[in-house]
């Protein structure tokens, strides 16, 4: 009888029984309606934002192909920035190309001409017949925050248009790569992102979730040849200025102060009687015939603001001045002898190997700074146009002199702003190296000593062939 019942169930009504058995051993799956959980809904909204950015940007981004002499081909990306058909891209994408083509996502290919290029920012503007394709809007990149979502669009690795997503991982990055193609120091202020950027993405836009351009994809740092999560874009704060200059003038005309600079360290600031956290730059030399000199600025002025904007470091000042027009009158604030002073400056126009292993000494030697000093002969001093000087003959690695930026071969010409031969120094002996070593050893712990230094100039083999005429200032707090 039992067997009969089981057979009956097996033959005619197994489904309900199977359902009851499974329900007893397997947890219930969530109902489809539970997918509307608030967290999932928010994630779907972000996904919709990514899709909207990709769809809006798609028509405006083009693959740029340049054909060079001999048939070599270079590919990158570019995007429309106005209704007149101007596309912004990287200089390294278009430089040396005899023919340029822009291919849009709808398959249309248009010939392009170079309007202007700027190797010092690695930016270029080209022009095509856009036939009414919408331009991408710009937004100020100085409003970006680390952690903000961004979307990179371009044509990487020979593929069709590709969209990658990530966040801003850092700002104000400098790689010291721009300008190398012409042997000049460029202007860098990169946005760093983990949105995948690969070869071919160069010149494409980096967009925020509103579909606004915040940067121009330009470079990667990689150990594999592909994206390692370190992509770099030129911020619109720089790119928009350069693009306007190229479109209106065909080149970028940059302003000029006529000074040499170095970054202000906390110890150096304290040596001038300023707060250790004071930001700014130190003027190491000022040409009397150039704008800053004509306005009355002097070497060892600490420049803290320009045209109402604070100056953070040397690169920040270079970038600010480079985006100003020659002839503009600006207010510059400096500290001189710990007193704040202001100057009105009329900006001018800018004109256009392995080092040898440095000798070291035993760590037990070198005194408080970790250096061995030697006198220079009067003949050498006359040749250098200096009244006195002491050579840093050897260094102890990891000691205060080396950590502060002093190198073997450097020439110390003054201490605390006073020449070694001045009355304040008050030494009438023959060995300035001996006097300076003794002076350093006699100072109390915590004393800040500021050295005026002339750096060495090396040849291709790393040999010292002279001294830089520009003076550098190094402040060391003695321990």
Please identify every residue annotated as catalytic: 92, 122, 202
Contact yes or no for 356/463 (Cβ under 8 A): yes
CB 198 within 8 A of CB 207: no
Could you count the other beta carbons within 10 Å of the beta carbon of residue 439?
Answer: 15
Q: Alpha-carbon Rg of the chain, whole angstroms?
A: 32
Which CA distances in Å does 414 have to 43, 172, 368? 63, 35, 18
Instruction: Tell the residue number behind the tokens 């031969």, with chain if given.
Output: 421
What do you get for the CA distance between the two ends of the chain, in Å? 101
107 Cβ neighbours under 8 A, 6+ residues apart:
none
450 within 8 A of 478, measured Cβ to Cβ: no
Q: Is residue 104 within 8 Å of 59, Cβ to Cβ?
A: yes
Closest CA to 123 of 211, 209, 163, 64: 64
């Amino acid at each position: 009888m039992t067997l009969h019942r089981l057979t009956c169930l097996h033959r005619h009504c197994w489904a309900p029984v199977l359902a009851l058995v499974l329900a007893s051993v397997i947890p219930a799956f969530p109902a489809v309606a539970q997918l509307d959980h608030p967290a999932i809904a928010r994630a779907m909204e972000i996904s919709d934002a990514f899709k909207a950015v990709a769809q809006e940007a798609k028509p405006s981004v083009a693959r740029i192909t340049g054909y060079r002499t001999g048939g070599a081909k270079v590919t990158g990306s570019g995007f429309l920035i106005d209704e007149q058909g101007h596309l912004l891209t990287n200089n390294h994408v278009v430089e040396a190309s005899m023919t340029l083509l822009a291919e849009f996502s709808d398959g249309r290919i248009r010939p392009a001409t170079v309007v202007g290029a700027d190797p010092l920012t690695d930016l270029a503007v080209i022009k095509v017949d856009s036939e009414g394709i919408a331009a991408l809007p710009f937004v100020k990149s100085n409003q970006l925050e680390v952690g903000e979502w961004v979307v990179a669009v371009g044509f990487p690795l020979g593929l069709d248009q590709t969209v990658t997503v990530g966040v801003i991982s850092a700002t104000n990055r400098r790689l010291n790569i721009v300008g190398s193609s012409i042997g000049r120091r460029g202007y860098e202020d990169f946005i760093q992102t983990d949105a995948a950027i690969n070869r071919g993405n160069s010149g494409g836009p980096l967009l925020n979730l509103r579909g606004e351009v915040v940067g121009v994809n330009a470079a990667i740092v990689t150990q594999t040849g592909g994206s390692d999560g370190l992509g770099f874009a030129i911020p619109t704060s720089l790119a928009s200025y350069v693009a306007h200059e190229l479109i209106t003038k065909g080149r970028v005309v940059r302003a000029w102060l006529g000074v040499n600079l170095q970054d202000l360290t906390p110890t150096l600031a304290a040596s001038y009687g300023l707060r250790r956290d004071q930001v700014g730059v130190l003027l190491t030399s000022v040409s009397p015939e150039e704008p800053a000199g004509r306005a009355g600025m002097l070497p060892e002025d600490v420049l803290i603001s320009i045209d109402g904007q604070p100056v953070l470091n040397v690169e920040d000042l270079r970038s600010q001045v480079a985006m100003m027009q020659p002839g503009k009158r600006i207010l510059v604030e400096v500290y001189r002898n710990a007193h704040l002073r202001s100057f009105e400056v009329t900006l001018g126009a800018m004109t256009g190997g392995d080092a040898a292993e440095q000798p070291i000494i035993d760590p037990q030697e070198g005194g408080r700074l970790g250096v061995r000093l030697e006198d220079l002969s009067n003949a050498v001093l006359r040749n250098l146009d200096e009244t006195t000087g002491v050579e840093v003959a050897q260094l102890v690695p990891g000691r205060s002199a080396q950590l502060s930026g002093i190198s073997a071969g450097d020439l110390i010409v003054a201490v605390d702003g006073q020449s070694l031969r001045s009355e304040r120094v008050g030494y009438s002996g023959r060995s300035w190296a001996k006097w300076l070593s003794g002076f350093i050893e006699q100072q109390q712990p915590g004393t800040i000593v500021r050295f005026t230094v002339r750096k060495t100039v090396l040849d291709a083999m790393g040999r010292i062939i002279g001294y830089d005429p520009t003076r550098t200032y190094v402040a060391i707090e003695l321990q």
